[in-house]
Amino acid sequence: MTVRCCFVGLLMAVILLGPARAAPWRPAHVVVVIEENHGYEQIIGNSDAAFINELAADGALFTESRGLNHPSQPNYLALFSGSTQGVTDDRPVLGAPLTGPNLGAALIAKGRTFAGYSEDLPAIGSLSLSVGDAYARKHNPWSNWQSDHPGPNQLPASTNRRFTDFPSAFEDLPTVAFVVPGQMNDEHGNGRIADADLIRASDQWLKRYLGAYASWAIGHDSLLIVTWDEDDHTAANRIPTILVGARVTPGKYDQPITHYNILRMIEEFYDLPLAGASANSEPIAHVVP
């Protein structure tokens, strides 16, 4: 009788409450790699981007992903903070250090960790505007919240790191890491390099430095996101966006997304406040639990 009563009680609970919902995914680590200035058709199916196309085949490929603006800098700011911060060009951001919400500060406030890794950054915490053709601060959005003095949503210099600081032991990565290759390795170039060579260089760089992480992520409850800031300056601004990781359902997805949807996905992973326009963006559906 006792067993029967317990069974009836459980059955009533299922009827009243519905089936138990799976716990939200909290990836151990998320690494976001940002490439430059190429459209979907220039990369997907291009043999010069062989490794990137391997990632697209093994993971989730968004076929209707769009950059938000031209030129580069507003897109980086949008992905990191849910806002272009009123920026419409690649010049230094006025009012820095900014005080508005951003992904890095939200993670730290929640007891998580964040770092941005920029290739060719001259020193940890550097606020240099550029280093030759290699590094450009316009591709380093978190630097615009960096401050030596505590303030709303501001970030310590230790979050603004060189790519040489990227851990070889991936379990030592912060919760969320952004990776920005140098301009010779992210398809940006200097105007003197053939486009096919730029794409091959970026593809080889990504395989050399992030290929092992892509494989590791699948077996270690983690995620790799590879996206582009913008296309090659067309009105369509259609870019590749690829997810590879432990709980990613491989396939092609035609949900229209922008940088704001990607930001919202990361915020929802860790139960963070939704910053700026990410709050009005649709959650990414069916790709991750």
pLDDT in tens, 180-196: 999 999 999 999 999 99
Assess contact for 102 and 145: CB atoms under 8 A.
yes
Q: Across residues 201-215, what is the average pLDDT?
A: 98
pLDDT at 1: 44
Enter the pTM of the model.
0.93
Q: What percent of the chain has pLDDT over 90?
A: 91
In what helix (H) or strand (E) does residue 245 lie, and over which residues does it extend?
strand 238-245
pLDDT in tens, 215-236: 999 999 999 999 999 999 999 9
HSE of 125, CA atoms in CB hemisphere, 13 A? 7
Please give the Cα distance from 45 to 61 (Å, whole number). 12
Among 142, 146, 168, residue whose Cα is nearest residue 155:
146
pLDDT in tens, 231-253: 999 999 999 999 999 999 999 99
Please give the Cα distance from 127 to 155 (Å, whole number). 13
pLDDT in tens, 110-146: 999 999 999 999 999 999 999 999 999 999 999 999 9
pLDDT in tens, 171-184: 999 999 999 999 99
State the DSSP string of 146-166: B-SS--TT-B-GGGEEEGGGS
pLDDT at 289: 82
pLDDT at 16: 46
Assess contact for 226 and 33: CB atoms under 8 A.
yes
The residue extents of the domains of the chain are: 25-280
pLDDT at 196: 97
- Per-residue exposure over 83-122, b if at least 16 CB sit within 10 Å of its own CB, e if not: bbbebeeeeebeebbbebbbbbbbbbeeebebbbbbbbbe
pLDDT in tens, 138-170: 999 999 999 999 899 999 999 999 999 999 999
Assess contact for 266 and 243: CB atoms under 8 A.
no
pLDDT at 23: 81
Indicate the CATH number of 25-280 among 3.40.50.620, 3.40.720.10, 3.10.20.30, 3.40.50.1000: 3.40.720.10
Assess contact for 83 and 77: CB atoms under 8 A.
yes
For residue 234, what are the CA distances in angstroms to 46, 66, 129, 165?
19, 11, 27, 35
Give the sheet arrangement for strand 176-180, strand by strand: 160-162, 114-118, 176-180, 30-35, 223-228, 238-245, 60-66, 251-253
pLDDT at 19: 52
pLDDT at 21: 58
